[in-house]
């Protein structure tokens, strides 16, 4: 892989809930504990949680290790788009969540994770971890769907 290599994964589901309910659930940072495996919590650095321009530190326990991810909210378009920038150990990621209303009780949710491998170590192991990242993203989005539809 070349310098500043990129890996991108997208997963989309249709959730049988009103767009307002899905949006508010995704926007509420405390709900991450329900649908993001290993999520421990966050510390707000500036601004309000999930407000455009705000930043926070999120903590995860994954595969026996503690990870801290610095997150900056890049863009919010109510009921439509949330774009985040995440930085962890030399790896910059962008997470884009888009919502598209199908009808009053159904919404398509699409999450795209883009990993920018700026650290030589991550570029080296990127090809080995590609399937792990893909499975994790599918699991996160599918778990979101299951939780919201089981309410």
Write the CATH number for 100: 3.30.530.20
Give the per-residue pLDDT at 4: 54
Write phi, then psi, for 88 (nearest 5 degrees).
Answer: -150, 120
- 127 domain-assigned: yes
- The answer to whether position 50 is within a domain reads no
Q: Which 3-state string (H, E, C) describes the chain? A: CCCCEEEEEEEEEEECCCHHHHHHHHHCHHHHHHHCCCEEEEEEEECCCCCCCCEEEEEEEECCEEEEEEEEEEEEECCCEEEEEEEECCEEEEEEEEEEEEECCEEEEEEEEEEEECCHHHHHHHHHHHHHHHHHHHHHHHHHHHHHHCC
Q: Examine residue 38 and state whether it is found in any structural domain, yes or no.
A: no
Would you write out the chain's pLDDT as a tens digit for each of its 151 residues? 344 578 899 999 999 999 999 999 999 999 999 999 899 999 999 999 999 999 999 999 988 999 999 999 999 999 999 999 999 877 889 999 999 999 999 999 999 999 887 767 766 776 677 888 889 899 999 999 999 999 8
pLDDT at residue 124, rounded to an integer: 73
The reply to whether 86 falls in a domain is yes
Structural domain for 141, as ranges: 5-30+75-149
What is the Cα–Cα distance from 17 to 22, expressed in whole angstroms? 7
For the purposes of burial, counting CB atoms within 10 Å of the CB of 141, is it exposed (0-12), middle (13-18) or buried (19 or more)?
buried
């Amino acid at each position: 892989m070349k310098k500043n290599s990129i890996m991108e994964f997208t997963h989309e589901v249709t959730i049988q809930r009103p767009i307002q309910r899905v949006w508010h659930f995704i926007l509420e940072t405390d709900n991450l504990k329900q649908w993001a495996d290993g999520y421990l919590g966050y510390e707000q650095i500036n601004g309000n949680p999930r407000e455009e321009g705000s930043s926070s530190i999120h903590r995860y326990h994954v595969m026996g290790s503690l990870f801290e991810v610095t997150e900056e909210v890049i863009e919010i378009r109510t009921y439509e788009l949330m774009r985040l920038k995440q930085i962890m150990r030399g790896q910059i990621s962008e997470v884009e969540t888009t919502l598209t209303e199908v009808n009053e009780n159904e919404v398509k949710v699409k999450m795209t994770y883009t990993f920018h491998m700026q650290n030589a170590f991550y570029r080296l192991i990127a090809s080995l971890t590609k399937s792990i990242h893909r499975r994790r993203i599918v699991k996160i989005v599918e778990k979101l769907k299951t939780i919201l539809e089981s309410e």
